[in-house]
Chain A
Amino acid sequence: MLTDTERKIWKAITVQVQRVAAIRNPVAHWVWGCSTKLADAVILVDPGDLVGFRLDLADMSSDIGRRVREMRYAKATPPHPPDPLREGARVYRAVDFQNVTNEIRRVMQMVIEFRSLWHWSEGNRGVLWRLDANEELAKDAARAYAALSTKLSGEFRDRMNCDRIGGTPTASPT
């Protein structure tokens, strides 16, 4: 069972987990495309945009006769319609993939440290200062962590140590 303070910390971490899931999802789920002009990159496209693009193509081909007649009559090329496929497409280079990996690892470290913290390990107190992606979140988390650190001291911590090692109280690590 989590205390209010612990719940607050965990909630802050889960916000970070959701954030990195959102930046990982295109890498995991989007369609790979390429361009001959971008030899060092791939172009990822949302599969939903691809479906929409194919539907647009079908509409366009069914209407092509009228469009050609209109163009001849106007003796001008109509403006190029916006291309939703290109609008949503993202160019990923090596550094972009590495950034995604690094962000995920950063949050992974938070989760691991929270786990240690929850087990009252003294050696893992850095977790909340890494929540720097969101300043307000970081402030909240830092306050929560300070409260938790205070709680760690004294009798309560000794009792936890005692429980974990099978009933023999030991000196807490410093």
Chain B
Amino acid sequence: MPQPLNELGTDVSLAITPDTGPPQRPALAILAMQAIAEGSRLDAEVGNVFVELSGANPRPASVTYLSLNGSIARQRRSMPSLNWC
């Protein structure tokens, strides 16, 4: 579990600037990206199962799944004009 910053006392400063991002901690950035990527893979896998469980026609099932998850990006992808299925 990540540690609350307050537990470390006030002498531990906190800097948030455009420079305090991943370039300052490249090794941690890779690990963070790995977690994010695994999360995306899980999202995709859950979507696949949802579609499979929903029956023979994948398009309505995929639209339902995407709308349940509420992501704008995902909803955009489900627009018929993009024809992604």
Contact = CB atoms under 8 A, between A and B. Distances in A.
Interface in A62-116: 80, 85-87, 89-94, 96-101, 104-105, 107-108, 111-112, 114-115
Given A24-B35, A118-B53, A43 B5 contact: yes
A120 interface: no
> From DSSP, what is the main secondary structure of chain B's interface residues?
helix
A33 interface: yes
Given A34-B25, A42-B28, A98-B31, A24 B53 contact: no
A131 interface: no
Among A35, A80, A87, find the residue whose CB has the most chain B CB atoms closer than 10 A. Answer: A35
Nearest to B3: A91
Given A97-B34, A111-B46, A118-B52, A104 B15 contact: no
B49 interface: yes
Contacts of A114: 49
Interface residues of A, number: 50
Contacts of A37: 11-13
A92 B28 contact: yes
A21 B39 contact: yes
B2 A90 contact: yes
Interface of B: 1-6, 8, 10-16, 20-22, 24-25, 27-28, 31-32, 34-36, 38-39, 41-42, 45-46, 48-49, 52-53, 55
Interface of A: 1-2, 10, 14, 17, 20-21, 24, 26-28, 31-38, 41-45, 50, 80, 85-87, 89-94, 96-101, 104-105, 107-108, 111-112, 114-115, 118
